[in-house]
Amino acid sequence: MKRTLFIALFTVLTVTAAVAQSYKYEVGPSLGMTGYLGEANSGNVFKHPSFTVGGIFRYNHNSRWAFKANLNYANIRGNSKDDLTQYPDGIDYDFNSSLIDAGFTAEFNFLNFGRGPMYKKLKPISPYMVAGVGFVFAICDGHNQASFTVPFGIGVKYKHKDRLNMSFEFTMRKEFSDRIDGLSDLFGIKHSFAKNTDWYSFAQFTVSYEFGKRCIKCNYIE
């Protein structure tokens, strides 16, 4: 009888501990490097790297899907002197822009990400892909420019502990104004989505902490 009670108590505690490790939300800081492609750099995106700092808020829908909001302060720069492109009248261009970048993205984990009972087949590490919509506000040489963006990329997540996650993510951001570098239509071709519009990239490392326990109803985890 005592043995049976002990086994039952141990099972309840084990299940309770596993459930207590399931959380819906994450928040944390990020730090990384930026790159740029545009009129002042048509080749290597990291030819003139700079920095970005920010934070994320993530909602974990399940072990495969998550939805993330991000806010970043970043710097991008470029110089056409070491670029192979020849501009009209042989003029060289350079710039230094400050960006406020915000976005909302969806993440798809290639593996069931998390920790828990073996039957759930969760993995503490998983690659993922990300895509969404965003907005950027740029300040370059005293001029302001706002634009919509389309961020997309890949990353990898690692669950270091039950509530502590780490991730590394590389994303490209396509923006629509062609003015975040202060340069536009240098060849006299009006910018469009396919031509002239600038790109910038983030390579970011993020540490996030989970909170918000999932509700339990009749042994079903929402």
Q: Which domain holds residue 152?
A: 2-221
In this prediction, residue 18 carries a pLDDT of: 42
Residue 160: Cβ-neighbour burial (10 angstroms; 0-12, 13-18, 19+): exposed
Q: Could you write out the DSSP letters of every residue in the chain?
A: -HHHHHHHHHHHHHHHHHHHT-EEEEEEEEEEEEEEEBTTBSS-TTSS-EEEEEEEEEEE-SSSEEEEEEEEEEEEEEEGGGSSPPPGGG---EEEEEEEEEEEEEEEESS-BS---GGGT-BSEEEEEEEEEEEEEEEETTEEEEEEEEEEEEEEEEEEETTEEEEEEEEEEEESSS-TTS---TTSPPPBTTTB--EEEEEEEEEEEEEEEPPEETTEE-
CA–CA distance, 128 with 96 (Å, rounded to integer): 32
Closest CA to 109 of 155, 178, 49: 155
- Report, as an integer, the average pLDDT of 170-192: 75
Task: Show Cβ contacts of residue 111 under 8 Å, excluding neighbours closer than 6 positions.
Answer: 123, 125, 126, 127
Residue 176: pLDDT above 70? yes
pLDDT grade, residue 79 (50/70/90)? confident
Residue 188 clears pLDDT 50, i.e. is over it = yes
Q: What is the pLDDT of residue 12?
A: 44
Q: Give tens-digit pLDDT for 27-72.
A: 999 999 999 988 777 778 888 899 999 999 999 999 999 999 999 9
Tokens for 26?
């994450």
| pLDDT score of 32 | 97
Q: Read off the pLDDT of residues 119-170 as tens digits, 9 standing for 90 and up.
A: 888 999 999 999 999 999 999 887 898 999 999 999 999 999 889 999 999 9
pLDDT higher than threshold 70 for residue 196? no
Q: Is the pTM of this model over 0.85?
A: no
pLDDT score at 214: 82
Residue 159, pLDDT score: 95
Which tops the pLDDT comparison, 161 or 2?
161
Residues in contact with 192: Cβ distance below 8 Å, sequence separation at least 6, in sequence order: none
> Do 104 and 132 contact (CB within 8 A), yes or no?
yes
- Structural contact between residues 137 and 163, judged by C-beta atoms closer than 8 angstroms: no
With a cut of 60, say whether residue 220 has pLDDT above it: no
Q: Provide mean pLDDT across the span 186-215.
A: 79
Given a contact cutoff of 8 angstroms between Cβ atoms, the answer to whether 171 and 151 are in contact is yes
The number of distinct structural domains making up the chain is 1
* pLDDT value for 90: 63
CATH of the domain at 59: 2.40.160.20
Confidence of residue 189 (pLDDT cuts 50, 70, 90): low
